[in-house]
Copies of this chain bind each other. A is one copy, B any other.
Amino acid sequence: MRTDTVYKKAFNRVASMLRDGQLTGELPSENELRRKMGVSRTTVRKVLGELVHRELIAERSGVRTTGRAVEDSDYYPDAETTSRAKHVEQQFMEWMLRGDTRPGTSINELELARQFGVATNGIREFLIRFSRFGLLEKRPNTGWLFKGFTEDFALELFEIRVMFELRSAHLFSRQPDMSPLWEKLAALKVAHTELLKQIESRFHDFSSLDNRFHRLINEASPNRFIDDFYDIISFVFHYHYQWNKHDEKQRNQAAILEHLAYIDALESRDSERLERACRAHLASARETLMRSLIVFDGMDTNA
């Protein structure tokens, strides 16, 4: 049966809004809520129905008003708010990055399905989607070959990344002066400086800043294939560093400084300087990944 995670997530969001006072007195119409939450009206109605049932809101002659206070126990547990597909993704990444899965292992849909507690179909869909990341290969009628999160993988990934990033950085720097992207870049620069000041407590926030920065650079000259490739990078980094937090603060601090140099180089419109800053940053990102790969390989995974 299809999960009702969309409903539960929406319910939790409305509950939070009620609790935070973002919704007070008379509630907005179903359509307005629908837009706000990004779900269908059907789902909104289901949420409202449950809220009435639990007396979190009251309904009198077609008018809905807030009801009793929201309690912690009103929320659905987080695990129930993500779809099966997302669960599969998470479990697979954990299996891949944490387990002692060696390159060359063959992957068995049925076995993973049993292990993850889902139907084989879901596994297969995930593997198909995931195969564009270059870590898997399908052998028809037979199964999947896991190629491993290896040094080669990282090197090949970064070779492309450098090509794309240099191209995008140069195009960015050649934008007209009145392009709105320059302002966005300036704003990002400020955000970097802020973060650097508070690095002790906020170093976790770097990851999203990093993402915004690299995506901004691509905005000047969109290319869907480059965007797609950046999705791969984000994905890889997201999961990889989620399980490998070694030295995180230091790493991020260094990266911020590199970004700042890179931003200055962009603003200078000096092509050679830009190339140097860009390469320097990517080389260091690559080193970091490679080093952590080695740590990772040797890590005791049965902890």
Binding site for B on A (CB under 8 A): 6, 121, 124-125, 128-129, 132, 134, 141, 153, 156-157, 159-160, 163-164, 167, 223-226, 228-229
Contacts and interface: CB of A to CB of B under 8 A. Distances in A.
A88 to B, nearest CB: 13
B121 A160 contact: no
A137 to B, nearest CB: 9
A125 B224 CA distance: 21
A44 to B, nearest CB: 14
Contacts of A157: 225
Nearest to A227: B134
Copies in the complex: 2
B124 A225 contact: no
Contacts of A167: 163
A228 B163 contact: no
B160 A228 contact: no
Given A128-B129, A134-B224, A163-B164, 14 more contacts: A6-B141, A124-B125, A128-B128, A132-B132, A132-B228, A134-B225, A153-B224, A156-B225, A157-B225, A159-B223, A160-B223, A160-B225, A160-B226, A225-B229
